[in-house]
Amino acid sequence: MSDLPGDLLYTKDHEWLRREDDGSVTIGITDHAQSSLGDLVYVELPEVDQDIDEGGEMAVVESVKAASDVYAPIGGSIAAINEDLADDPEKINSDPYGDGWIVRIQPSDSIDEGALMSPDDYQQFIDDLDD
């Protein structure tokens, strides 16, 4: 059983979001997601300043097994990307909520938190998937 960080919001696509003080939002994939994907070997990242729509393809994470798209949970412009992932994609496996962050988005609109899950709700969501 993984402990979900309490200060994050979660999506049904197994992404997490953290609101930063400057109004930007840091995004990564959850421990459940990295565990399902297996050892990551390559991450394709967007360009900084690129505009992205909610639900648009934001990154691709490739494990030894397969390639998976990561969709933008919110719309906005890419404020930063985790360039360390180019040489060390396994950071997503080893530290999904920390050094394994993927992008930071400057949201174009206010965030609809109703569409996101609290840690408890997300825990329930993945427990139900495992049944």
Partner 1 sequence: MGSKTPLFDKHNEAGARIVDFGGWDMPLHYGSQKDEHHFVRQNAGMFDVSHMTIVDLSGERVRAFLQYLVANDVAKLKDPGKALYTAMLNADGGVIDDLIIYYMTDRFYRLIVNAATREKDLAWIRENAASFDVGVVERGELGMIAVQGPNARALAVSSIDSDYRDAAMAMKPFFGMQAGDMFIARTGYTGEDGFEICMPAADAAEVWDQLLAAGISPCGLGARDTLRLEAAMNLYGTDMDENISPLEAGLNWTIAWEPADRDFIGRTALQALRNSPDRQRFVGLLLEDRGVLRNHQKVVVDGVGEGEITSGGFSPTIGKSIALARVPAGDYDRATVEVRGKLLNVRIVKTPFVRNGKIRIDIAGETQ
Q: Which stretch binds partner 1 (CB under 8 A): 8-16, 33-41, 95-103, 113-121?
A: 33-41
Question: Least separation, in Å, of the C-beta of 4 and partner 1?
Answer: 21
Cβ 17 to partner 1, closest distance in Å? 25
Please report which helix (H) or strand (E) contains residue 26, including its range. Answer: strand 25-29
- Is 7 a residue that touches partner 1 (CB under 8 A)? no
Helices (H), the chain: 31-37, 91-94, 119-130
Residues 6+ apart with CB under 8 A from 23: 106, 107
Closest CA to 4 of 17, 13, 19: 17
The least CB distance from residue 115 to partner 1, in Å, is 27
Name which of 67 and 115 has its Cβ closer to partner 1.
67
Site for partner 1 in 60-89 (CB under 8 A): 60, 62, 64-67, 86
CA angle 72, 37, 89 (to 5 degrees): 75
- Name the residues that contact partner 1, by CB under 8 A: 38-39, 41-42, 44, 60, 62, 64-67, 86
